[in-house]
């Protein structure tokens, strides 16, 4: 069996190969110079609108996280959550996985939450609600988008079914808080005291969430607003690049692309994202050049906004202190 460090290196290498291979294949089919020309001709006004939309994504995401924390009895100032979310976004976009950003969020809320376990579970709940909202927007987009009947690989029926199953699982977990710890109890044989304590905290947290349905509903509404703002970001960018794609067409394309990017097959989704944009643009009868310029310009602007997190991290002057488990 390979040494853990060697195995990680092999995984990294494989992801780099996938990203580079996909980008090489895609760029071999287009005129790279034409992509550069279109990018340089982008409307500054629409670029500003796109940047504003993405800043709204970050602010609403931090607020939604605060709603979930508050529902669980954890009070953290919104300014601190915004600061933490900016740093987490920087880590997510400049490290090869999203785990780094979640570590920042957990570290920044573990002390007010009373433990790393509770802070971690709230971050996971935030991600789960965000995923449900992502599927919901994709389902609406698939049902609404013009000239994308059936939507190819992922149709409306599949997306609505996935959303129903996800909501059903969430309701089941909240209605029976003891169910998940019971299912995970066999894991406790590895380290009964350590795992048992954390399963008890999980059950308690789920029970607390069950008692605050308003916080969950508000959090889900915030998650929908975030996903709509992400679609708005790409729509504004598309208008700035003179690409004839509608809001609800992007309402399917963008969530589907984000779902594909979650697959651990590439470096931060590079290559997979562009290939997915290309697939859906082909269904719309739009050239691959437009798919690539929209995808890459979107990634570039997101990286640019993420640099705010770097400044925030430097301004802290020190890493997060050690926190209780």
Give 77-110 pLDDT, tens digit per residue: 999 999 999 999 998 888 766 567 888 898 899 8
Tokens 């997101």: give the residue.
Answer: 302
Residue 281 zone, left/alpha/beta (φ > 0; ψ -120 to 50; rest): alpha
Q: Is 155:142 a contact under the CB 8 Å cutoff?
A: yes
Could you tell me the pLDDT band of residue 229, with boundaries at 50, 70 and 90? very high
Place of tokens 């437009």: 290
For the cut 80, the answer to whether the pLDDT of residue 145 exceeds it is no
Per domain, the residue ranges of the chain are: 21-175+212-315
**pTM to 2 decimal places:** 0.87
Tell me: pLDDT of 312 over 80.
yes
pLDDT of 320 > 60? The answer is: no
Select the more confidently predicted residue: 263 or 191: 263
Average pLDDT of the residues in 261-272: 84
Question: What does the alpha-carbon distance between residue 141 and residue 47 come to, in Å, rounded to a whole number?
Answer: 23
Degrees, nearest 5: CA angle 294-311-103:
85
pLDDT tens string 165-179: 988 888 888 777 777
In sequence order, the 6+-apart residues with CB closer than 8 A to the CB of 279 are 152, 153
User: Most distant CA pair in the chain: distance in Å?
Assistant: 62
Rounded Cα distance, 107 and 120, in Å: 9
């Amino acid at each position: 069996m390979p040494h853990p460090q060697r195995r990680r290196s092999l995984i990294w290498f494989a992801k780099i190969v996938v990203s580079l291979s996909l980008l090489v294949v895609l760029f071999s089919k287009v005129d790279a110079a034409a992509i550069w020309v279109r990018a340089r001709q982008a409307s500054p006004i629409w670029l500003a609108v796109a940047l504003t939309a993405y800043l709204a994504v970050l602010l609403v995401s931090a607020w939604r996280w605060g709603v979930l924390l508050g529902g669980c009895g954890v009070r953290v100032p919104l300014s601190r959550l915004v600061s933490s979310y900016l740093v987490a976004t920087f880590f997510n976009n400049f490290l090869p996985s999203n785990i780094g950003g979640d570590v920042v969020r957990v570290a920044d809320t573990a002390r007010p939450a009373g433990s790393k376990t509770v802070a971690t579970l709230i971050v996971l709940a935030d991600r789960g609600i965000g995923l449900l909202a992502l599927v919901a927007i994709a389902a609406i987009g698939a049902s609404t988008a013009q000239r994308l009947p059936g939507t190819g690989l992922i149709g409306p029926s599949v997306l609505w079914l996935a959303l129903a199953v996800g909501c059903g699982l969430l309701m089941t977990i909240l209605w029976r808080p003891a169910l998940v710890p019971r299912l995970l109890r066999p894991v406790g044989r590895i380290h009964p005291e350590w795992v048992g304590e954390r399963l008890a905290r999980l059950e308690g947290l789920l029970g607390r969430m069950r008692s605050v349905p308003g916080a969950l509903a508000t959090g889900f509404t915030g998650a929908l607003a975030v996903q709509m703002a992400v679609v708005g970001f790409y729509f504004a960018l598309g208008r700035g690049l003179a690409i004839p794609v509608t809001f609800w067409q992007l309402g399917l394309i963008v969530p589907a692309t984000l779902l594909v990017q979650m697959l651990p097959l590439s470096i931060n989704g590079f290559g997979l994202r562009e290939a997915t944009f290309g697939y859906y643009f082909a269904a719309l009868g739009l050239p691959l050049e437009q798919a690539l310029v929209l995808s890459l310009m979107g990634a570039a602007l997101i990286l640019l906004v993420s640099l705010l997190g770097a400044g925030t991290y430097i301004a802290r002057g020190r890493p997060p202190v050690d926190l209780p488990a």
